[in-house]
Amino acid sequence: MQLRSSLLLLALLPLPLFAQGMGMGRGIGGRGAEGGGMPRNMLPKFATAKELEKFNAAEALLQDTRRLRLTEPQVAQLTALRARIYERNADVLVRYDAIRRDYRPPAALTGQGSSASAPPPTQEEMMQLGDQMRAMMAIGDQLLAQRQEQVTEALALMDDTQRDRARKVLDDQTDDARRAVPPLPPRDGRRRP
């Protein structure tokens, strides 16, 4: 039963995610592969919807008002853009939040508490887990795609003296956003940069 669950997990989870969280030769309870254990701590972490909501390009620039030396009209424009971005992302984040609220990986896969004695997940649990993970990753990809437009809009409000600093602030925030939700693996099997 454990072997079948392990094989099913491999089929459902993208290989880069599986390898990312799994130590070589470790299994539940610290047993190695020879102990027949399933790897633990192999599941990626997903940010909450509230955490994702904070990745608003206009908000990042408003938080850096003093160093960017934003003018009053720029602050007003960025404030309006911030509200539009929150509004555009609202439906997507509601869908994400509904999925994440129900996302409860089986104890045997999390490495928390008494997972060493936890029963292996059922096929149904694994299928549901895989569907939830793929859905959250797809929404994360959608948010990152929308973010490119938001960054362009925010940078358009900067003058030439502010643009380099603003781009750095937004690049840092984009990197944080990418770490918040693991991306869907590419269809051709190669990892994205």
In a domain, 40, yes or no: no
| Measured CA distances, 46 to 6, 7, 100 (Å) | 22, 23, 8
Q: pLDDT (tens digit, 9 = 90+) per residue, 64-77?
A: 999 999 999 999 99
In a domain, 147, yes or no: yes
pLDDT at residue number 20: 37
**pTM for this predicted structure:** 0.69
User: What is the Cα–Cα distance from 95 to 18, expressed in whole angstroms?
Assistant: 25
In a domain, 35, yes or no: no
In a domain, 8, yes or no: no
Nearest Cα residue to 12 out of 33, 41, 42, 56: 42
Q: pLDDT (tens digit, 9 = 90+) per residue, 24-59?
A: 333 333 333 334 444 445 678 899 999 999 999 999
- Domains identified in the chain, total number: 1
Torsion of CA 111, 115, 116, 118, to 10 degrees: -150
Contact 121, 111 (CB under 8 A): no
pLDDT at residue number 173: 96
In a domain, 112, yes or no: yes
In a domain, 74, yes or no: yes
In a domain, 17, yes or no: no
- Dihedral of CA 120/115/30/12: which sign? positive
pLDDT at residue number 111: 67
Query: What is the residue range of 118's domain?
Result: 47-180
DSSP letters along 132-147, please?
Answer: HHHHHHHHHHHHHHHH
Q: What's the first-to-final CA gap in the chain, in angstroms?
A: 37
pLDDT at residue number 188: 57
In a domain, 61, yes or no: yes
User: What is the Cα–Cα distance from 81 to 62, expressed in whole angstroms?
Assistant: 11
With a cut of 70, list the residues of the chain below it in pLDDT: 1-42, 111-116, 186-193
pLDDT at residue number 182: 84
